[in-house]
Amino acid sequence: MTQIKVEHDAGGIAGLCVITANVHGDRRGYFSETYNKREMSEAGLDFDFVQDNQSGSSKGVLRGLHFQIKYPQTKLVRVIKGSVYDVAVDLRKNSRTYGKYFGIELTDENHKQLLVPKGFAHGFLVLSELAEFCYKCDDFWHPNDEGGILFSDPDINIQWPALDVPYILSDKDKILPYLKEAVLP
């Protein structure tokens, strides 16, 4: 029985996929298979994930937009607690959707995941009081290989949700360059 549903080319952007896991629930709670390599391969998503990461953040935290330059990563991202607005920006210079973004709300209730391929910047904004965010990567993190784009780049014009609290960014994320100035993968 298939445990996942895959929406290919989400937002009209080639390679970007929204994945929804089947959830089986009863009075005890629920069970969901969040990753199955065989089913992913059958859906044309054949990646060798080598690292799992998890972060916890409070409402208003905005992380991103991040990528690795020489060692780009495919990421499979999801929320296990709370809610985030998740964004991927196409950085592939030869793509017809270069500079275009796709945003989606990922929650612990909708069980959606976003597959962010190599060649994209990624970031998210926490919408709930707390959120726990998990993601798989198909390459290791290289601390001297970080790249990024300012979340408020007017050329990308991401429509981040308005919140009743100010956005909270790291010092590093506050000074990221615009897309037109960034060193890209």
Token output for 67: 């990528």
Residue 96 maps to a domain:
yes
Residue 75 maps to a domain:
yes
Residue 147 maps to a domain:
yes
Token output for 176: 């990221």
Residue 1, pLDDT above cutoff 60: no
Per-residue pLDDT, 125: 98
Residue 20 maps to a domain:
no
User: How many helices (DSSP H) and strands (DSSP E) are in the chain?
Assistant: 2, 13
This prediction has a pTM of 0.94
Rounded-to-integer distance, Cα 151 and Cα 88, Å? 11
Name the residue range of residue 118's domain: 50-181
Mean pLDDT of the chain: 95
Residue 26 maps to a domain:
no
Q: Which residues does the annotation mark as catalytic?
A: 66, 135
Count of domains for the chain = 1
What is the average per-residue pLDDT within 128-157?
96
What is the average per-residue pLDDT within 33-61?
94
Residue 2, pLDDT above cutoff 80: no
- Give me the residues paired with residue 122 across strands: 66, 88
Listed range (10-14, 37-41, 76-80, 127-131) with the worst mean pLDDT: 37-41
Residue 22 maps to a domain:
no
Per-residue pLDDT tens digits for 146-162: 999 999 999 999 999 99
CATH number at 169 reads 2.60.120.10
CB 105 within 8 A of CB 83: yes
Query: How is the chain classified by DSSP, letter by letter?
Result: ---EEEE-SGGG-TT-EEEEE-EEEETTEEEE----HHHHHHTT------EEEEEEEETTBEEEEEEESSS---EEEEEEESEEEEEEEE--TTSTTTT-EEEEEEETTT-EEEEE-TTEEEEEEE-SSEEEEEEEESS---GGGEEE--TT-TTT---PPP-SS--B--HHHHTPPPGGGSPP-
Calculate the alpha carbon distances from 174 to 85, 110, 147, 180 in Å.
Answer: 18, 30, 13, 17
Residue 95 maps to a domain:
yes
